[in-house]
Structure 1
Amino acid sequence: MTEVGLRGSFSAPVAGVARRRSRRRAGSAGYFFVAGYAILLVAFGIVPTLYAFYLAFTNEKGQFTGLNQFVKVVQDYRFAPAFLHVGVYLVLWLAILMVLTVTVAIILRGRLRPGLSAALRFLYYIPGALAGVASVLVWLFMLDPSVSPAAGLLRLFGFESFAQVLGPANLPVIFVLIAFWTGAGGWIVVMYGALNNIPDDVLEAARIDGAGAWKTARYIQIPMIGKWIAYMAILAFAGGTQLFIEPQMLQTASLGRLDPAWSPNQLAYVLAFRYGDFNGAAAVSLILLVLGLICAGLLVRRSGLFKVDSE
């Protein structure tokens, strides 16, 4: 056998071993990067959830009580109003978020110059850099007619004092304004990125066929980013059901004018830390969890979020 033949006969197995080692190293790197999230998920997600299940089905003595804790919290006079408040807030929040963020992203993508579009995306994103408490403090200043730079606008709507602004009927709108101001900018950037994935030849074909901006957005752009819109709706819904910081801060700033159990999360907090009823608080938390999972499941199924597109 010639030298070249010997070299060729050994090169194939060696190359195969090298490829296998490379794949193993790549797999090990993947496990390493996933490990950090997995540890945090188990420590701060799965374990607390399991503990909440234990508390919700037992009493303070650790005795199994079945659904008694759930019956008790559902019959609480604060339970229905808390969920109704958050329900109204979620309807307003999701409707405004999905309509305005997608509309603004489409305008930035196709109707403005690239430089101006980039500058506006940056400006929209700035409020999202503020933590939840900081953003609420900003809005406390903005909503007080005695110090707000928008005092004239507030008085135009008939609000002469901070107490009038914080009327019960106004609270869902106030929380939507705070949530939109802090969260919409990030989603505009996400939707803009999703629109960038639409091939230019598809949009060009629509223009050649005579489709204007409205028809292109309705029949091409929005359907092609439908999964991203569903993803936004799921996360926004999950975050909305956890409403706590905003009503809690307003309740403190208004010296108790707001109901301390305005939202389900506040109700759970009151049960746990004012009355020491951790079992009831766990039951409220699990009800929120189940409702969130059901709504997320419906959105995933209707949108085909995890459906793999066939080649």
Structure 2
Amino acid sequence: MSARTTIPSIRPSSRERSNRSGYVFVAGYAILLLAFGVLPTVYSFVLAFTNDQGQFVGFGQFVVATTDFRFLRSMANLGSYILLWLVTIVVFAVALALLLRNYVRGRMSVFWRFLFYLPGALAGVASSLVWMFMLSPQVSPIAPLLKAAGWTDFGRIVQPQNLPVIFTVMAFWVGAGGWIIIMYGALNNIPDEVMEAARIDGASAWQLAWHIQIPMIRQWIAYMAILAFAAGTQLFVEPQMLGVASKQVDISWSPNQLAYQFAFGPMSNANAAAALSVLLLAVGLVFAVILVRKSGLFDVEAED
């Protein structure tokens, strides 16, 4: 009589199944990132260091882009806009998140978070169209305010000195809601024991916010500033749309518009456009590295 040999079944553990599921979820994003992020970036680098014949020219295309008479003007425009945009998004997104976290409870908190996030559902072009309607004194619902400020027609509003403020308001209206929700979630992660201990020590609401809450979410604030800076350097749709509508906004107001003119304008120099794009990428990376080092964004706290 032969003895039967029992072979134990090998089943994947729950952790292994979870890891496989994670890979499946990440795979879709990774493919899209590779196709529409990594590969175009690599191609831009290739174009930036070659000419239209595919010959290596070193930094020649960067010289073409940076010595163009429109380059410094567009960079100055972008700098004024980004400075105003970063201050606005950091100050008001954090302040509104603090107000929601500390003073609004229950369904009202849900309502306000939804209301803040709602404009983010609009695409860039749709948002620009909405704001062109809002800034037209003839049809705008805030026409009395515009006329009280002396802005009686659309052309007077979109004067060059007003553009950084206009673009900041447009960007904040669309992008602030998501960051307010993220900051709100970060504030919720602060232990209640820490907040209660500070209150027992006599800390006021302002002291709690300034000395406890804001320092404990500084990494999230740095993360917001990095992505807001990156988004700001991509400014294109808003000045392009306002330029079409008013005929008063320079077609190379922002560096991205200038890159578009390089690629599709009379020069037809896609290599110089790629060089300008790489230059903007380098500026964003330098800003990100400085902010990461100063804020300790990726620091890991030592476990006891």
TM-score by length of 1: 0.91
Q: Which residue of 1 aligns with 2:225?
A: 233
Q: What is the alpha-carbon distance in structure 2 between the residues aligned to residue 68 and residue 112 of structure 1? A: 57
Question: Could you report, residue by residue, the CA deviation over 1:142-186 in whole angstroms, capped at 9, with x for unpaired residues?
Answer: 111121121121122221211110100000000000011111111
Q: Which residue of 2 aligns with 1:306?
A: 298
Q: Does 1:263 align with 2:254?
A: yes
Q: Does 1:184 align with 2:179?
A: no
Question: 1:225/1:143 Cα in 2 relative to 1: closer, same or farther (>3 Å)?
Answer: same
Q: Which residue of 2 aligns with 1:152?
A: 144
Q: Which residue of 2 aligns with 1:205?
A: 197
Q: What is the alpha-carbon distance in structure 2 between the residues aligned to residue 270 and residue 202 of structure 1? A: 54
Q: Which residue of 2 aligns with 1:44?
A: 36
SS of corresponding position for 1:308? coil
Q: Does 1:84 align with 2:76?
A: yes
Specify which of 25, 33, 39 is matched with residue 25 of structure 2.
33
Offset of residue 209 of structure 1: 0.4
Offset of residue 27 of structure 1: 3.3
SS of corresponding position for 1:193? helix
Larger radius of gyration: 1
Aligned length: 297
Q: Does 1:60 align with 2:74?
A: no
SS of corresponding position for 2:161? helix
Question: Could you report, residue by residue, the CA deviation over 1:273-308 in whole angstroms, capped at 9, with x for unpaired residues?
Answer: 113210110010000010011101111111111111
Offset of residue 22 of structure 1: 4.7
Offset of residue 14 of structure 1: 5.9
Q: What is the alpha-carbon distance in structure 1 between the residues aligned to residue 260 and residue 122 of structure 2? A: 24
1:210-225 alignment, distance < 5 Å: 210-225=202-217
Q: What is the alpha-carbon distance in structure 2 between the residues aligned to residue 162 and residue 88 of structure 1? A: 22
Report the more deviating stretch, 155-164 or 207-216.
155-164
Letter in 2 for 1:41: L
Q: Does 1:297 align with 2:289?
A: yes
Query: Which runs of 5 or more residues in structure 2 are unaligned?
Result: 1-5
Q: What is the alpha-carbon distance in structure 1 between the residues aligned to residue 206 and residue 14 of structure 2? A: 50
Question: Could you report, residue by residue, the CA deviation over 1:212-252 in whole angstroms, capped at 9, with x for unpaired residues?
Answer: 00000001000111111111111111101001111111111
Offset of residue 25 of structure 1: 3.5
Q: Percent identity?
A: 58
Letter in 1 for 2:260: Y
Q: What is the alpha-carbon distance in structure 1 between the residues aligned to residue 8 and residue 228 of structure 2? A: 52
Q: Which residue of 2 aligns with 1:170?
A: 162
Q: Which residue of 2 aligns with 1:98?
A: 90
Letter in 2 for 1:271: F
1:12-27 alignment, distance < 5 Å: 18=11, 22-27=14-19
Q: Which residue of 2 aligns with 1:5?
A: none
Q: What is the alpha-carbon distance in structure 1 between the residues aligned to residue 148 and residue 252 of structure 2? A: 31
Q: What is the alpha-carbon distance in structure 2 between the residues aligned to residue 25 and residue 154 of structure 1? A: 59
Q: What is the alpha-carbon distance in structure 2 between the residues aligned to residue 291 and residue 306 of structure 1? A: 20
Question: 1:21/1:190 Cα in 2 relative to 1: closer, same or farther (>3 Å)?
Answer: closer
Q: What is the alpha-carbon distance in structure 1 between the residues aligned to residue 153 and residue 164 of structure 2? A: 18
Q: What is the alpha-carbon distance in structure 2 between the residues aligned to residue 292 and residue 194 of structure 1? A: 24
Offset of residue 40 of structure 1: 1.4
Q: What is the alpha-carbon distance in structure 2 between the residues aligned to residue 276 and residue 58 of structure 1? A: 15
Q: What is the alpha-carbon distance in structure 1 between the residues aligned to residue 91 and residue 271 of structure 2? A: 39
Question: 1:162/1:107 Cα in 2 relative to 1: closer, same or farther (>3 Å)?
Answer: same
Offset of residue 129 of structure 1: 1.1
